[in-house]
């Protein structure tokens, strides 16, 4: 493990002397376990959009590695995030998404919990422990919540610093899009992808491959129109704009936006896409008609699930034939996704070979180096804390 961490540290110094991540980072169970602690247990994790849970009782269950999480709208319209495991014997309290009414009821022995996570009732427990005492000790683990541009984030580290101050540059860049006002289309789930979580983010922010893997499909947003953005050590996002050869382009078979253009955009935004990632699990593209995003949910060293969504200004969803246009927009994105998926699966296979060595960066992969620097900071911090704890 230490050898791998040293290798990563040497590789992320700069583009000229550096190299990409060692294969162990993608395929090794020990590294995956380390990374769950170093990254996922301490970083802001995106669970979806505020308007997926509009009404009291609405919830969405998300599995993040071994951690089941639920985001729920409580009776006071607050958004809360819990670990939805029963305090009795650990049965999960909900699956999928839906409306829980006023409470979560455990199917196993019917303990019930309010939408704020406290225990309400537990049948046939009085002879061993009174309800009052039980209530004091049995409540759902509750986690920090932060909303950024309508995305719901949680952090499993109770001491985590806020996310938004680390997103200053990206927030400013995205202001004209008014993402917080956009409405969500139903989320599409893709389960059982057999690759590591990192290549999924890498594909979204690395423009080098777009000219080759996607070829003509991506020509309107050619890699040579990409400009990278400076990345500081404390930045919580990696992003870059890629210009268009013509305004109001779109990632679908027509190459043009299908929906109305976001009315608040200027010339600049109408002539580019912003590819962004808020690691470790949110990636998105902001385009002149809206935004598409994906949540990456790790399920093992070589396994992820995806939740993919589209956002549009509310007025756009009222245009005639919206449903038909939206279907084309979805299908258009699937073409890109399928190309990315095939190559990501192939890279995952390649990384299983012991002969795979870290490779060099193209100058069109600066955002990859930035992502690896984001990771390296977290690997380093956690490894040094773990070392200190061991020595103490
Ligand atoms: S495990 Fe939930 S009530 Fe027993
Ligand atoms: Fe791609």
Statement to judge: residues 288 and 312 lie in one domain: yes
| Ligand 1 atom 4, closest CA | 109
**210 lies in some domain:** yes
What is the bridge-based pairing of β-strands 79-82 and 282-287? unpaired
**How far does residue 109's CA lie from ligand 1's centre (Å)?**
5
Distance separating alpha carbons of residues 383 and 279, to the nearest angstrom: 19
Q: Tell me, yes or no, whether 318 lies in a domain.
A: yes
Mean pLDDT of 82-97: 98
Average model confidence (pLDDT) across the chain: 96
Of 102, 128, 148, which residue sits at a domain end? 148
For 356, other C-beta atoms within 10 Å of its C-beta total 16
Q: Is residue 154 part of a domain?
A: no
| Rounded to 5°, angle at Cα 327 from 321 and 329 | 105
pLDDT in tens, 238-284: 999 999 999 999 998 889 999 999 999 999 999 999 999 999 999 99
Q: Which atom of ligand 1 is nearest to the CA of 93?
A: 2
CA of 269 to the centre of ligand 2 (A): 21
Same domain for 235 and 137, yes or no, is no
Q: Which residues form the domain of 84? A: 45-148
**Same domain, yes or no: 36 and 72:** no
**Is residue 172 situated within a structural domain?**
no
Q: Cβ(338)–Cβ(185) under 8 Å?
A: no
Whether 106 is covered by a domain: the verdict is yes
Q: Are residues 227 and 324 in the same domain?
A: yes
In this prediction the ipTM stands at 0.97
Mutate which of 105, 106, 123, 139 for ligand 1? The one with the most ligand atoms within 8 Å of its CB, which is: 106
In a domain, 370, yes or no: yes
Query: Is 229 in the same domain as 373?
Result: yes
Asked whether residue 39 falls in the same domain as residue 124, the answer is no
Helices of type H across the chain: 2-11, 24-27, 29-35, 131-137, 168-174, 197-205, 267-270, 322-351, 366-391
Same domain, 128 and 262: no
Closest to 199 measured CA to CA, from 111, 303, 122: 303
CATH code for the domain in which residue 333 is found? 3.90.380.10
Distance CA 43, CA 163 (A): 9
Which tens digits make up the pLDDT trace of 188-243? Answer: 999 999 999 999 999 999 999 999 999 888 889 999 999 999 999 999 999 999 99
Ligand closest to the CA atom of residue 338: 2
Q: Which ligand is nearest to the CA of 204?
A: 2
Distance 210 CA to ligand 2 centre (A): 6
Ligand nearest to the CA of 200: 2
Q: How far apart are CA 331 and CA 248, in angstroms?
A: 19
Shared domain check, 371 and 236: yes
Which ligand is nearest the CA of 112, by number? 1
The verdict on 103 and 49 lying in the same domain is yes
For a mutational test of ligand 1's pocket, the pick from 68, 83, 86, 138, i.e. the residue with the most ligand atoms closer than 8 A to its C-beta, is 86
Instruction: Please give all residues whose beta carbon lies within 6 A of any atom in ligand 1, as ranges.
Output: 86, 88-89, 91, 106, 108-109, 111
Distance from the CA of 211 to the center of ligand 2, in angstroms?
9
Distance 384 CA to ligand 1 centre (A): 39
Which of 194, 196, 149 is CA-nearest to residue 168? 149
**What spacing in Å lies between the alpha carbon of 69 and ligand 2's midpoint?**
29
Number of structural domains found in the chain: 2
Where a domain ends, among 130, 148, 166? 148
Between the CA of 127 and the centroid of ligand 2 the distance, in Å, is 60
**Between residues 90 and 252, the one the model is more confident about:** 90
Query: Residue 322: exposed, middle, or buried by beta-carbon count in 10 A (0-12, 13-18, 19+)?
Result: middle
Does residue 208 share a domain with residue 131?
Answer: no
**Whose alpha carbon is nearest atom 3 of ligand 1?**
109
pLDDT tens per residue, range 1-32: 888 999 999 999 999 999 999 999 999 999 99
Closest C-alpha to ligand 1, atom 1: 89
- 71 located within any domain: yes
For 140-179, how does the pLDDT look when each residue is reduced to its tens digit (9 = 90+)? 999 999 999 999 999 999 999 999 999 999 999 999 999 9
Residues 239 and 301 in one domain: yes
CA pair distance 247, 132, nearest whole angstrom: 64
Q: What is the CATH number of the domain that holds 86?
A: 2.102.10.10
Q: How far apart are CA 233 and CA 388, in angstroms?
A: 23
Q: Are residues 50 and 39 in the same domain?
A: no
Q: Are 71 and 182 in contact (CB under 8 A)?
A: no
Q: Which ligand is nearest to the CA of 273?
A: 2
- The pLDDT of residue 94 is 97
- The SS3 call for residue 369 is helix
In the reported structure, the alpha carbon of residue 105 is separated from the centroid of ligand 1 by a whole-number distance in angstroms of 9
> Is 171 among the domain residues?
no
Domain stop point among 148, 164, 193? 148
């Amino acid at each position: 493990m230490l050898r791998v961490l040293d290798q990563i540290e040497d590789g992320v110094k700069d583009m000229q002397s550096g190299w990409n991540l060692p294969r162990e980072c993608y395929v090794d169970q020990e590294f995956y376990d380390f990374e769950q602690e170093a990254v996922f247990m301490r970083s802001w994790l995106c669970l979806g959009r505020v308007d997926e849970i509009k009404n009291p009782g609405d919830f969405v269950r998300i599995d993040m590695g071994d951690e089941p999480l639920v985001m729920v709208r409580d009776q006071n319209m607050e958004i809360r995030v819990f670990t939805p495991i029963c305090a009795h014997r650990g049965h999960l309290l909900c699956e999928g998404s839906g409306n829980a009414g006023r409470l979560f009821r455990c199917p196993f022995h019917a303990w019930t919990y309010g939408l704020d996570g406290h225990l309400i009732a537990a049948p046939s427990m009085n002879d061993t422990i009174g309800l009052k005492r039980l209530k004091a000790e049995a409540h759902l683990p509750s986690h920090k919540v932060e909303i950024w541009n309508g995305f719901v984030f949680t952090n499993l580290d109770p001491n985590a610093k806020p996310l938004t101050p680390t997103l200053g540059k990206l927030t400013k860049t995205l202001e004209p899009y008014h993402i917080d006002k956009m409405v969500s289309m139903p989320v599409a789930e893709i389960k059982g992808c057999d690759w590591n979580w990192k290549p999924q983010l890498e594909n979204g922010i690395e423009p080098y491959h777009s000219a080759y893997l996607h070829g003509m499909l991506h020509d309107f947003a050619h890699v040579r129109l990409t400009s990278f953005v400076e990345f500081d050590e404390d930045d919580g996002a990696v992003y870059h704009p890629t210009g268009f050869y013509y305004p109001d382009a779109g990632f679908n078979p027509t190459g043009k936006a299908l929906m109305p253009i976001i009315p608040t955009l200027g010339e600049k935004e109408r002539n580019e896409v912003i590819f962004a990632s808020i690691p470790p699990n949110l990636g998105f593209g902001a385009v002149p008609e809206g935004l598409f995003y994906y949540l990456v949910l790790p399920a093992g060293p070589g396994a992820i699930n995806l939740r993919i969504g589209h956002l549009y200004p509310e007025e756009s969803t009222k245009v005639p034939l919206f449903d038909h246009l939206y279907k084309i927009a979805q299908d258009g994105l699937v073409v890109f996704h399928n190309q990315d998926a095939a190559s990501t699966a192939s890279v995952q296979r390649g990384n299983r070979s012991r002969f795979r060595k870290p490779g060099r960066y193209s100058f069109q992969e600066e955002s990859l180096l930035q992502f690896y620097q984001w990771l390296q900071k977290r690997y380093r911090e956690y490894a040094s804390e773990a070392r200190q704890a061991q020595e103490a």
